[in-house]
């Protein structure tokens, strides 16, 4: 892994996502400088950091963490000029993001990494107006940014691969799980998955099949419990009995033709089957399905106790 | 709520799902009789129940729970004749399920409830060959059935509404969260949501965008953590800042037109907007967004500690 020397992080745009980055970076012991042109932005930012701080304290602050290491300036040039990482979080409009990234690119140090939090725009699109596009990436976090570990790292056509490596090391220092996406697509990977579920949920409400509360209940009492510990592929690997995903695809493959969602499935070719089966077997590694099951069960029993304390659903679903 | 007197549960078909029902029913202190024509089915069933028992013990057994209250017969008539609830779990093929349900209907007590565990077939289709279709329903559980609380209850055109009420009371006695689906559709509700995400995941793997492991990581380190406690609607309600879902739909509504998934979104009409916004506001009830946030944060901090112990992902994702 690259040696990454990083002292100062600049955060451009202090909405929900920007403020989440600020709180996370402070908690991990970095100097942070933030900028936002909106009136009252600094006050809202400091309030947001204060609201996040108790959770961050419970998670464990870095020894050098301090809210006093946060400064604010309404001047973007001042904010970015000596930062090692610049995280952009302006509203999700392509032309605006491109303009802001161009400004950042002009004033940032040559070896600074410039990362956009964009949910859906490709880095190749975002970096095209920059003089030094090789250090421009997407680093897409998830709300609440100061707690959830996932960050998708995506390079554009002009991004240097060594920059991606440095970025991974930096986000690991921010106590995150960087997931490098090798092929840029709109919505990256996580939002593709969430957006599919979200659009299906909107169809169900639109068609009068279920209320928002019923849709939420259909997730939190079932799949949502599993997905905190195990993703959809490994979950189905375990649903296939001792033969795992191979049995599963044999048995439920035909269901891909059924109208169980408004989304058309890909053709289940031999090639796709093998990709999926071998992917799951590799994920399981040397752990047997019985052992995976035992671990999952222990987890679920403890998770059910935990969610019981924190459920927000009303009791009216049945 | 109806007074439900239920002593004996019959389970027809002892695969992964059937055995899950058996373990759950025994743990809640019921007599269970199981039937399956396959050779060696009884042994596999008893092994499956033994494997589930430690988790069930940790969750808390009913005082009268005992594995000795389980009997097995290869004869379906004997299995169903004096049961109060008959849960059918034969393979997911329409003609087979219809035939088995017809047999159950012939030999069951007139006031017994007959429930199919089908993932996707509508109850109206399943009940059509029965003499007493008014007591035939779908009761669709989630794997592992002995731990996950969700069960979708769906009536067909000929189902009596009082049967649905009795079914809800029965599944609550089985320590489950029954979700009554008012309009039957293929895949009910939960599988619609899961299937959309699953098909998108298959597209991502098929198109070479991500491996199965990367897809799983994109869920478990992000959305999966949230969905154990809060569904997709309430999650977005919190992502919208103080204005909640109203702000969220204003800001991200246009993204429904973008190619962020292979699934086409419904038109975001004023009517759909209001359904979604008012649904979320009703779910939130008198709890402010700040309070919901605080609760979510506390939950997530504790959940992250818990998943840390039980992660199955290899460390190779970045």
| Domain residue limits, chain A | 8-181, 190-310
A47 touches chain B (CB under 8 A): no
Pick the more confident residue, B242 or B291: B291
ipTM of the complex: 0.94
Residue B80, pLDDT above cutoff 50? yes
**Total number of residues shown for chain B:** 318
What stretch of H or E contains B288? none
Cis peptide before B309 (omega within 30 of 0): no
Burial of A143 per CB tally in 10 Å (0-12, 13-18, 19+): middle
Q: Do B233 and A226 touch (CB under 8 A)?
A: no
A contacts of B226 (beta carbons < 8 Å): 148
Put simply, whether A314 touches B (Cβ < 8 Å) is: yes
Residue B79 is predicted with a pLDDT of: 98
Chain A residues whose beta carbon lies within 8 Å of the beta carbon of residue B205: 272, 275-276, 279
What does the pLDDT read at residue A58? 93
B285: left (phi over 0), alpha (psi -120 to 50) or beta: left
Percent of chain B with pLDDT over 90: 81
Residue numbers of A between 147 and 166 with CB closer than 8 Å to B: 147-150, 152-153
A85, A113 Cβ separation under 8 angstroms:
yes
Which helix (H) or strand (E) segment holds residue B196: the answer is: helix B190-206
Rg (CA), chain B: 22
Secondary structure letter of residue A133 according to DSSP = G
Q: Chain A closest CA to B167's CA: distance in Å?
A: 11
Choices 3.40.1640.10, 3.40.50.300, 3.40.50.720, 3.40.50.2000: CATH for B8-181: 3.40.50.720
- CB-CB neighbors (< 8 A) of B216 in chain A: 230-234, 283
Residues of B in contact with A230 (CB under 8 A): 216, 220, 312
Torsion of CA B157, B162, B168, B172, to 10 degrees: -160
Instruction: Return the pLDDT at A313.
Output: 57
What tokens appear for A283 in the block? 């994920």
Q: Which residue of A59, A148, A212 is in closest CB contact with B276?
A: A212
Low-confidence ranges of chain A (pLDDT < 70): 1-3, 313-318
| pLDDT for res B1 | 45
Q: What is the pLDDT of residue A193?
A: 96
Element spanning B45, H or E: helix B41-59
Q: Is B14 annotated as a binding residue?
A: yes
User: What's residue A3's pLDDT?
Assistant: 60
Taking a contact as any Cβ pair under 8 Å apart, which residues of chain B between 190 and 219 contact chain A?
Answer: 190-219
Query: Is A60 one of the annotated binding-site residues?
Result: no
User: Which chain B residues are closer than 8 Å to A216 by Cβ?
Assistant: 230-234, 283
Residue pair B205/B38 in contact (Cβ under 8 Å)? The answer is no
Is B294 in contact with A147 (CB distance < 8 Å)?
Answer: no
A106 labelled binding-site residue: no
Whole-number pLDDT of residue B314: 55
Does the beta-carbon distance from A51 to B318 stay under 8 Å? no
B83: which residues sit within 8 A by CB, 6+ positions away?
A: B8, B9, B10, B33, B108, B109, B112
Min CA distance, A209 vs chain B (Å)?
6
Contact status of B63 with chain A (Cβ, < 8 Å): no
Q: What is the DSSP letter of A78?
A: H
Per-residue pLDDT tens over the stretch B146-191: 999 999 999 999 999 999 999 999 999 999 999 999 999 999 999 9
Q: pLDDT digits over A137-166, tens only?
A: 999 999 999 999 999 999 999 999 999 999
**B190-310: what CATH class?**
mainly alpha
DSSP B55-106: HHHHH---TT--GGGEEEES-HHHHHTT-SEEEE---S-HHHHHHHHHHHHH
Residue A55: list chain B partners with CB under 8 A.
297-298, 300-301
B84-119 pLDDT per residue, tens: 999 999 999 999 999 999 999 999 999 999 999 999
Using the beta-carbon criterion (under 8 Å), do B262 and A196 form an inter-chain contact? yes
Cβ contact (<8 Å) for A276 and B232?
A: no
Give the ranges where chain A is alpha helix by DSSP (H). Answer: 16-27, 41-59, 76-80, 94-107, 123-126, 161-173, 190-206, 212-218, 224-227, 232-239, 244-252, 270-284, 289-310
């Amino acid at each position: 892994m690259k040696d990454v020397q990083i002292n100062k992080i600049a955060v451009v745009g202090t909405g929900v996502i920007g403020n989440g980055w600020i709180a996370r970076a402070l908690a991990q012991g970095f100097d942070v400088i933030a900028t936002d042109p909106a009136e009252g932005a600094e006050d809202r930012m400091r309030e947001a950091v204060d609201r996040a701080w108790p959770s961050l304290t419970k998670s464990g602050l870095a020894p050098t963490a301090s809210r006093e290491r946060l400064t604010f300036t309404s001047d973007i040039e001042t904010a970015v000029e000596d930062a090692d990482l610049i995280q952009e979080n302006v509203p999700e409009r392509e032309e605006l993001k491109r303009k802001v990234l161009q400004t950042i690119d002009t004033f940032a140090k040559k070896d600074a990494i410039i990362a956009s939090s964009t949910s859906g725009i490709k880095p190749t699109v975002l970096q095209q107006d920059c003089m030094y596009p090789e250090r421009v990436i997407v680093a897409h976090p998830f709300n609440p940014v100061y707690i959830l570990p996932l960050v998708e790292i995506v390079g554009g056509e002009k991004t240097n691969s060594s920059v991606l490596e440095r970025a991974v090391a930096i986000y690991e220092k921010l106590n995150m799980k960087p997931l490098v996406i090798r092929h840029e697509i709109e919505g990256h990977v996580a939002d593709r998955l969430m957006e599919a579920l979200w659009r299906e949920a909107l169809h169900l409400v639109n068609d009068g099949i279920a209320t928002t509360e019923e849709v939420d209940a259909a997730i939190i009492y079932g799949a949502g419990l599993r997905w905190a510990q195990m993703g959809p592929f490994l979950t189905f690997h375990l649903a296939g009995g001792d033969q795992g995903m191979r049995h599963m695809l044999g048995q439920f493959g035909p269901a891909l033709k059924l109208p169980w969602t408004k989304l058309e499935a890909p053709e289940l070719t031999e090639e796709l089957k093998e990709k999926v089966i071998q992917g799951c077997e590799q994920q399981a590694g040397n752990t047997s399905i019985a052992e995976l099951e035992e671990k999952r069960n222990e987890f679920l029993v403890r998770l059910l106790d935990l969610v019981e304390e924190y459920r927000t659903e009303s009791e009216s679903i049945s």
